[in-house]
A and B are shown apart, each in its own frame.
Chain A
Amino acid sequence: DTGVSQDPRHKITKRGQNVTFRCDPISEHNRLYWYRQTLGQGPEFLTYFQNEAQLEKSRLLSDRFSAERPKGSFSTLEIQRTEQGDSAMYLCASSLGGSLNTEAFFGQGTRLTVV
């Protein structure tokens, strides 16, 4: 399977714990995005990487959230001191960036439940 891969698919954690999610994009894609989706809503942009550089962060991304893409390939999203409001589906997407926007392909997401 050469699509976007996310791990784990599901995570249940206690409030206050830290969690980390991983995303492996399509191999030749230089752009990587994280989105968050709550039930009944469309995905909301969190952050964007071009290669290893984090170029944009949403206001939704509080200081408890941090994302990295150290070698310009896979990315991790860490949430510290989780809160119940962090419960959501966290989606990763990748695309081949250039002068024109191109289609972004999504992974299957990580479903986070904070109890």
Chain B
Amino acid sequence: GENVGLHLPTLSVQEGDNSIINCAYSNSASDYFIWYKQESGKGPQFIIDIRSNMDKRQGQRVTVLLNKTVKHLSLQIAATQPGDSAVYFCAENGSSNTGKLIFGQGTTLQVKP
């Protein structure tokens, strides 16, 4: 399953399928990006980050892709599991090197058993 555009708030996928969550960021000066997962009532949990000198980075079951030309970021989750159900936020650093983050609106991932 995949969401497109900024304003599709919910992505529903079947357990075991791959998920792709997209994000368009706003500031062309951003050089650091993070994906966070947030479960209900909890704080955001770091998933993976990427710097602008890379276009792909892989973690455990997750891959982040960065396309600076079109200011687009995506998070791919392989073999999606029920425990992956959460809201996913992308964040960028803007033009700041203080670590301050600017968050996107978030995408809710629902995993159907």
Spell out A's residues near B (CB within 8 Å): 4, 6, 31, 33, 40-45, 48, 50, 55-56, 91, 95, 97, 99-109, 111
Q: Could you tell me if B100 and A33 are in contact, using CB atoms closer than 8 angstroms?
A: yes
Interface core residue of A43, A45, A48, A106 (most chain B CB under 10 Å): A43
**B76 at interface (Cβ–Cβ under 8 A)?**
no
**B contact face: mostly helix, strand, loop, or mixed:** loop
Interface stretch of the complex, out of B43-51, B66-74, B78-86? B43-51
30 pairs, A vs B, C-beta closer than 8 Å: A4-B43, A6-B43, A31-B99, A41-B105, A41-B106, A42-B89, A42-B103, A42-B104, A43-B44, A44-B103, A45-B100, A45-B101, A45-B102, A48-B99, A48-B100, A55-B98, A56-B98, A56-B100, A91-B44, A95-B99, A97-B98, A100-B32, A100-B97, A101-B32, A101-B93, A103-B46, A103-B49, A106-B36, A106-B43, A108-B43
Spell out B's residues near A (CB within 8 Å): 31-32, 34, 36, 41-46, 49, 51, 89, 91, 93, 97-106
User: Given the complex, which residues of A lie within 8 Å of B101, measured CB to CB?
Assistant: 33, 43, 45, 104
Closest to A42 in B: B103
The 7 closest A-B pairs by CB, nearest first: A42-B103, A106-B43, A101-B32, A106-B44, A108-B43, A95-B99, A109-B43
User: Given the complex, which residues of B lie within 8 Å of A41, measured CB to CB?
Assistant: 105-106
